[in-house]
């Protein structure tokens, strides 16, 4: 059997995080702030937030590629994310962990805290930094609200407010989130969460927590 390549030997000391592109900035920020230099990030397309059926097959491919590259450990940077248990099945089969929680809104808020309020906020539509930044690409265009504005009330008629769960204190993003609420005709609430449970999740993945 040939000796492992230098890259493969180096990777044995690293943790590969396979994550949703929607949290890429946040994963890198947490790694930088907490000096988790041995975390290596690869992302699947953020827009699959809208098409969760695409996530599990791509995760399997990414895990296989990561194993071939010789990484010492793998961590899944997804919550359940509407995959109907597929991510959990993959994690169980592969013996790897993921971020706890049903979705990023919960782990940014803190899963325990979110669980206490979710029934009271059943009519809330949540934004994160990414969705506030790219509201058109993640909401308006996939739902074709730009071409069929009459769909707005059909899709969002049962919502009462937009809640912007902010990872960063950014006035420009706050203005974009407020614009999104006005566009949908909803009340607006700003809630700073920071990175929430993403921090301890990545620390544990890196062996630092």
Residue 10 pLDDT: 81
**Is residue 174 a part of any domain in this protein?**
yes
Please say if the pLDDT value at position 8 is more than 80. no
- pTM, two decimals, is 0.89
How far apart CA 196 and CA 205 sit, in angstroms, is: 15
User: Do residues 78 and 41 both lie within one domain?
Assistant: yes
HEC string for the chain = CCCCCHHHHHHCCCEEEEEEHHHHHHHHHHHHHCCCCCEEEEEECHHHHCCHHHHHHHHHHHHHHHHHCCCCEEEEECCCCCCCCHHHHHHHHHCCEECCCCCHHHHHHCHHHHHHHCCCCCCEEEECHHHHHCHHHHHHCCCCCCCCCCHHHHHHCCCCEEEEEECCCCHHHHHHHHHHHHHHCCEEEEEECCCCCHHHHHHHHCCCC
* CATH number of domain containing 84: 3.40.50
User: Do residues 127 and 66 both lie within one domain?
Assistant: no
Provide the pLDDT confidence category of residue 207 given band limits of 50, 70 and 90.
Answer: confident
User: Do residues 100 and 22 both lie within one domain?
Assistant: yes
**Is residue 109 a part of any domain in this protein?**
no
**Is residue 110 a part of any domain in this protein?**
no
pLDDT digits (tens, 9 = 90+) for 163-199: 999 999 999 999 999 999 999 999 999 999 999 999 9
How far apart CA 207 and CA 156 sit, in angstroms, is: 42
User: Do residues 43 and 92 both lie within one domain?
Assistant: yes
User: Do residues 98 and 18 both lie within one domain?
Assistant: yes
User: Do residues 91 and 151 both lie within one domain?
Assistant: no
**Is residue 31 a part of any domain in this protein?**
yes
**Is residue 1 a part of any domain in this protein?**
no
User: Do residues 187 and 201 both lie within one domain?
Assistant: no
User: Do residues 100 and 120 both lie within one domain?
Assistant: no
User: Do residues 155 and 136 both lie within one domain?
Assistant: yes
User: Do residues 77 and 120 both lie within one domain?
Assistant: no
User: Do residues 168 and 90 both lie within one domain?
Assistant: no
User: Do residues 78 and 131 both lie within one domain?
Assistant: no
How far apart CA 51 and CA 181 sit, in angstroms, is: 23
Region 108-112 average pLDDT: 96
**Is residue 123 a part of any domain in this protein?**
yes
Structural domains counted in the chain: 2
**Is residue 63 a part of any domain in this protein?**
yes
**Is residue 156 a part of any domain in this protein?**
yes
Domain coverage including residue 145 = 115-192
Please say if the pLDDT value at position 74 is more than 90. yes
Please say if the pLDDT value at position 75 is more than 90. yes
Provide the pLDDT confidence category of residue 118 given band limits of 50, 70 and 90.
Answer: confident
């Amino acid at each position: 059997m040939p000796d492992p390549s230098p890259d493969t030997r180096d990777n044995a000391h690293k943790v590969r995080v396979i994550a949703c592109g929607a949290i890429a900035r946040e994963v890198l920020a947490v790694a930088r702030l907490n000096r988790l230099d041995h975390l290596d990030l690869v992302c699947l397309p953020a827009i699959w937030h809208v098409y969760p059926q695409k996530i599990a097959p791509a995760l399997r491919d990414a895990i296989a590629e990561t194993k071939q590259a010789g990484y010492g450990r793998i961590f899944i940077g997804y919550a359940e994310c509407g995959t109907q248990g597929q991510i959990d099945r993959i994690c169980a089969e592969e013996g790897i962990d993921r971020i706890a929680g049903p979705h990023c809104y919960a782990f940014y808020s803190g899963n325990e805290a979110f669980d206490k309020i979710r029934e009271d906020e059943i009519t809330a539509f949540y934004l994160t930094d990414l969705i506030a930044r790219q509201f058109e690409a993640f909401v308006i265009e996939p739902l074709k609200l730009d071409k069929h504005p009459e769909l707005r009330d059909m899709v969002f008629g049962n919502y009462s407010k937009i809640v912007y769960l902010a990872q960063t204190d950014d006035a420009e993003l706050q203005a974009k989130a407020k614009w999104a609420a006005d566009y949908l005709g909803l009340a607006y609430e700003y809630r700073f969460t920071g990175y929430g449970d993403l921090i301890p999740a990545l620390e544990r993945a890196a062996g630092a927590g």
